[in-house]
Structure formats: C-alpha cells, structure tokens
Structure 1
Amino acid sequence: MNGDTSPIRVAIVDDQELVRTGFHMVLDAEPGIEVVGEAGDGREAIRLAVEASVDVMLMDVRMPGMDGIAATAEVIATRSAPKVIVLTTFDLDEYAFAAIRAGASGFLLKDVRPQDLAAAIRAVHDGDAALSPRVTRRMIELFSTELPAPTDRPAAPSPIDALTPREREILVAIAEGLNNGELAGRFFLSESTVKTHVGHILTKLDARDRVHLVILAYEHGLMSSGPAGGRP
C-alpha cells in the first residue's frame, strides 16, 4: 500500500444477508480492513462503487437481477474503480471465470478460511491476484477455446515486443500461476526484484493486474504450448 496506513475499504455484495453478515463479522476482526458497505444485487454494487470510495469489492457471481458478471464490468468502468474479487460456491465455476474476464482481480470460494480471505483482499489491494495455480490453468483452458491461434493473427506490432527477455520469462511464469516467492525461486532473484519486474511488465502492457497479465500472455501466444506453459 506504499506506506499508506489507512484501512482497506471493503464492500460485500451477495443476495443472501446471512452470507454478507458472515463475511462482515470475519472482516471486522481483521486489522487494517474496514467494511464500508453491503449490497444485495449488482445494481446496488454499482451504486456502492460510485458513492462509498471502495478499495476492494467482494462480488457474488450468481445473483438475481443484475448478476456478478454484468456488475463487475460496470464497477470496473467507474471513475474510481475498486478491485473486484468474485465469490462462488463452486470451484471452477465458469460464471466466475466470465466475471474475471470482465475485469475481476480474484476468485474465492465462499467457504474460504478467514485468514485466506483477508490475505486475498490485501493481495488484490496491492495489485496482486487472488487466484490459485489450478484456477489459473483452468482459466487459460477456457480462454483458449475462444481465442484464435497465434498463427491466425496478422503480423502487427505487439506490446509484448517492449518486454525484455527476462520480463517475457516472468510473464510466462505468472501465467503459469507462480506467485512472487515462486518467481524469486525459479529465477534466483530477490522478491523485491521480482516486484520491480512485475511492475515494469504491468506498466509496459498497460495491464490492470496479474489476472490481466494471464489473459494477455495467452492472447499473444506465449502459452500456445498449453496450459501452465506445457509443465506437467
């Protein structure tokens, strides 16, 4: 948070009041996190994003009326857009992947442990992503059915060309689902150096976060050898 000591302002969006209350109680016990609002549907979520100065929004993906997919796209488009973490009851929920494609920065199951929920909120607030390697690989698999093969793309300048060879390697590893500690181990770098590289990659590719980097890596053919970069 770049030295900022203000609490992370969180909003909870879910059509079930009991779920909202449960998350609210969990987050009230976490230092440095403040719940600033709740919403029961997507339209209320958009209002909260505009009016409540939210940093991170927990967004239920399946709601009556405006669902979490449409709401995420609208929330991300607001002037002071919060980061969005989508919530789902089912692992590998394709509705949740659609919300991630719409701009969400993370994916959590509703039975997430309190400490993992708080860690995900802090990570997303700091520009990281709340995605496990398994979810990242499945996301790439789903996107690969929608994207043209790299050989079908006309030759054109690519933002990937602005990356150094090391930055390109790190981008591929991010798309495989590696976190900063794992990146440091693979490339024999300090975590602070890894964070610097990741920051440069985000800036050069004009990417909103690491989830966006995963999408860009696949769209530009860097993962054409298959999910997880061909690793077993």
Structure 2
Amino acid sequence: MGDSRSMVSTSNPPIRVAILDDHAVMLDGYRLRLEATPDLRVVATAYYGEELAALLKNHHIDVLILDVIVPTAPDNPNPYPILQHIPEIVERYPNTAIVVITMHAESGLIRGVMRAGASGYVFKDDRQTLSQLAEGLRAVTRGDWYLSPLARTQLNKRPAPQDETFTPRQLAALSLCAAYPDKSAAELASKLFITPSTFRNLLHQTYARLNVSSRAGAVAEARRRGLITPEPS
C-alpha cells in the first residue's frame, strides 16, 4: 500500500483550520498531525479568547478547534465565555464548523456546547479519537459530528430535571459573569446586545433555578453542576 497521504484528493482547496488553545504543546501537536495531511492547513492560532474575533475576521476558516477553558486575555485569567460566543460564531460564520477539544467531561457542559452549535466534542486524553483528527475535521465540514465515545454517551443521557430549564441565553449570561466578574450588568448586557434590565432579568431567572441570590453564587453553582466553563485549575 502506498503513502496514505497520496490517497487524499488535493483537487479541492485545503480545509483551513484555526486553533484556540493556551497550551503550546497542544498547538504543536495539532500542527504536527494536520500539516502532514495535504488537504488540511493550519492558518491561524490564538492563546487568549479575546483574540478570537480578530482571528475569525482576518482569516477564512473552515474549522475552528477550541478548548472550553482558555484565559480571556493576558490581564484576565478568567475562562473566556465560550458558551456565549459559539452561537455568535455559528451565526456570523455559518461556513465555519466548531470542534471543542478539552479535558472537561461535565455532561451539562457537553450538552451546552453542542446545543450552542458546535460540531464536535473530543477529550484530550482520548487518544483513539484524536488519532482520527484529520478525518474528524473532514467529517464536520460535511455536516457530521466528531465526538469522543464518552461525549456521545453523555449527550444521550437525559439531563437532571433542574438543569433542563436553562435557556442558551441564560447560560450565556452566566458565562459572561464568570469571565468578567468585575463588570457591571450594563457592560455585560452590551456584549449580548440586550438592555441592562433584560440582562438582570436573565440573571434573576437563573438565581431562582440555582437557589442562589448573587452573581458569584450563581457562577459557583452553575460550575458545580457542569453547566458552564469550569474554574481554571
């Protein structure tokens, strides 16, 4: 049998891949896997969540690989609110498929990410699924899912009744509170393009469901339930 790379058709333009991950070792590993494949090309990388907007604007990207827990900015180590931004990316860049590759296996987080519009969820310690990275990225450009077996199992489980009641908008609001704990309701509302009163209403709805009375309490309880991005370890 000849070189497997020769079996991949290169008649079409290469699939352009961008990566958001704050671990240099992971970025290098993705590059090594993908650059050995002629129909896949890494065109951009980023370490911080707030670099993502410029990355998407400045490059034509077919597949975006991201971790769910990357720092927001050099001066803000809080996790970037991925659950808020995935729907925005899907809406603004409908031809870009999103694949999450992470260590976090919380069922609520997996469901939230996939419901937000991601096309894949793979665990970093799932060597077998990661060994199929190139084919997985090709699959999501065709409209398929690319999932670790455990992620698929978690998606098939029925969520706890108390966690079924959260809307994507409510989870986005909680994610913003986690990423920007010192910003006012008005500042966070502007990121969702809603009024401050609407943002406060979203938070108050989550307080009732989480049985808490503050933003900090809501973020802590949502993280405990695996509904939003975990706290950095």
TM-score, normalisation: structure 1:
0.55
| 1:218 paired residue number | none
Structure 2 unaligned segments of length 5 or more: list them.
1-9, 73-79, 166-233
Q: Deviation per CA, 1:191-225: give whole Å up to 9, x if none.
A: xxxxxxxxxxxxxxxxxxxxxxxxxxxxxxxxxxx
Q: SS of 2:143's equivalent? A: coil
Instruction: Answer whether contact 2:123 2:148 (CA < 8 A) is retained.
Output: no
Q: SS of 1:6's equivalent? A: coil
Instruction: Answer whether contact 1:49 1:82 (CA < 8 A) is retained.
Output: no
| 2:171 paired residue number | none
Alpha-carbon shift at residue 80 of structure 1 (Å): 4.5
Alpha-carbon shift at residue 78 of structure 1 (Å): 1.6
For residues 1-232 of structure 1, what are the structure 2 equivalents within 5 Å? 5-65=12-72, 66-92=80-106, 94-113=108-127, 115-132=131-148, 134-141=150-157, 143=159, 145=161, 146-147=163-164
Taking the aligned partners of 1:43 and 1:74, their CA distance within structure 2 comes to 14
Alpha-carbon shift at residue 28 of structure 1 (Å): 0.7
Deviates more, 1:81-90 or 1:91-100: 91-100
Instruction: Answer whether contact 1:76 1:82 (CA < 8 A) is retained.
Output: yes
TM-score, normalisation: structure 2:
0.55
Alpha-carbon shift at residue 37 of structure 1 (Å): 0.4
Structure 1 unaligned segments of length 5 or more: list them.
149-232
Taking the aligned partners of 2:54 and 2:94, their CA distance within structure 1 comes to 12
For the aligned residue pairs, the C-alpha RMSD in angstroms reads 2.7
Letter in 1 for 2:156: I
Q: 1:64 to 1:28 in 2, by over 3 A?
A: same
Deviates more, 1:79-88 or 1:31-40: 79-88
Letter in 2 for 1:137: T
Q: 1:136 to 1:28 in 2, by over 3 A?
A: same
Taking the aligned partners of 2:125 and 2:149, their CA distance within structure 1 comes to 18
Letter in 2 for 1:95: L
Q: SS of 2:42's equivalent? A: strand
Taking the aligned partners of 2:24 and 2:148, their CA distance within structure 1 comes to 27
Instruction: Answer whether contact 1:41 1:67 (CA < 8 A) is retained.
Output: no
Taking the aligned partners of 1:142 and 1:77, their CA distance within structure 2 comes to 27
Taking the aligned partners of 1:143 and 1:42, their CA distance within structure 2 comes to 28
Taking the aligned partners of 2:140 and 2:18, their CA distance within structure 1 comes to 14
Taking the aligned partners of 1:141 and 1:68, their CA distance within structure 2 comes to 23
Instruction: Answer whether contact 2:122 2:151 (CA < 8 A) is retained.
Output: no
Q: SS of 1:128's equivalent? A: coil
Taking the aligned partners of 1:105 and 1:124, their CA distance within structure 2 comes to 6
Alpha-carbon shift at residue 31 of structure 1 (Å): 2.4
Q: SS of 1:53's equivalent? A: coil
Q: Deviation per CA, 1:93-114: give whole Å up to 9, x if none.
A: 6434322221111011224545
Q: 1:4 to 1:99 in 2, by over 3 A?
A: farther
Q: How many residues align?
A: 147
| 1:200 paired residue number | none
Q: 1:16 to 1:133 in 2, by over 3 A?
A: closer
Q: SS of 1:135's equivalent? A: helix
